[in-house]
Amino acid sequence: MHGRFPILYIAEADAEEAVLSSGALAHLVEAIPHATFTVVGSPASAPLFADTPRLERLIILDRDGRWDWIALWNQVRETNWGLVVDMRGSTLSGKLRRQKRAVKGKTLPDVHLVEQAARVLQLDEIPAPKLFVGRDAQEAADALIPVGEGPILAIGPGVDWIGKRWPADRYAKVALSLLGEDGPLAGGRLMIVGEEADRDAAHSIRFAVKRERVIELQGRLTRLQTVAALSRADFYIGGDSLWTQLAVAAGVPAVGVFGPSDEVLRRPWTGVAVRGPRSLQEFIDLDPRLNQHIQHMMDLPYERVLKASKKLLAQLAG
């Protein structure tokens, strides 16, 4: 009989990066069945771990200031931790009683973030991103997905910067081809995910198929509930965004539409990244801080994304 083995896991503040590293936590959950977990995250990242099995505490670190870390230390210092995993690379673990610690170092420029998370735990095999979804979250998602037949194509057009936004009409053309009579997802349905603010980005996507075949979920679910909804999908297409990483964490094969983004670090782990004719460096030469109000993605044709999608679907079917 194993004794109690408490693990403190400090997730990244950025929700997308926290999802990219989530396979490390999932590995610990599955590899150490007697472990219990305390997870620390930001207001954006912490809720993603709310359904982690054997979760004892979920602590939200509202800010990243010195006094905030002192307050966190006061909440966790009494425990003799079996393991402290710090994906923020802070000095906190060195000040806590623990048997072992694993601290993430500086980001390596040429290694995918999923692999970098695995290296923190010195794992030989790289676990894919994974978020645990409880019954309540799954039921909330399923309640918005009508019973229907055929595969589901999910699309997440929303991004956090206009420079990463791929035109909605091009998503629509890809969806129309994949879901059409001769497409690999023929007769299927179209699921659109994202925030309420992303609805404009999906304006023409929802018209790619008949209204009764559209499952529009933007702004209707929490992010963890969105993972639950995406777990019902068969394929996903989206930009360099949190939604794409949530699809990966849901186990969905994904095509990521990239432009002024680094696919070496962030491509969908369970899929592929597609970019236009320009490299990341060419975007940086034009927009050094990658923050200008420029629609960088206009030179990526829909045919290239469609070809990559059909190729991946063929591989999955083969």
Taking CA 59 as the corner, what is the angle to CA 83 and CA 160, rounded to the nearest 5 degrees?
105
Q: Whole-angstrom Cα distance, residue 210 to residue 112? A: 38
Per-residue pLDDT of the chain (318 residues; tens, 9 = 90+): 467 899 999 999 999 999 999 999 999 999 999 999 999 999 999 999 999 999 999 999 998 888 999 999 999 999 999 999 999 999 998 899 999 999 999 999 999 999 999 999 999 999 999 999 999 999 999 999 998 889 999 999 999 999 999 999 999 999 999 999 999 999 999 999 999 988 877 878 999 999 999 999 999 999 999 999 999 999 999 999 999 999 999 999 999 999 999 999 999 999 999 999 999 999 999 999 999 999 999 999 999 999 999 999 999 998
268: DSSP letter: -
The pLDDT value given to residue 1: 46
User: What torsion, rounded to 10 degrees, do the Cα atoms 268, 205, 198, 134 define?
Assistant: -60
What is the model's pLDDT at position 2?
Answer: 63
Angle, alpha carbons 80-62-59 (nearest 5°): 35
User: Structure tokens of 180?
Assistant: 């059409």
Domains, the chain, with CATH or none: 5-120 (3.40.50.2000), 136-317 (3.40.50.2000)
The answer to whether the Cα torsion of 175, 312, 30, 124 is positive or negative is negative
Among 75, 126, 134, 66, which Cα is nearest to 269's?
A: 126
Beta-bridge partner residues of 40 = 10, 59
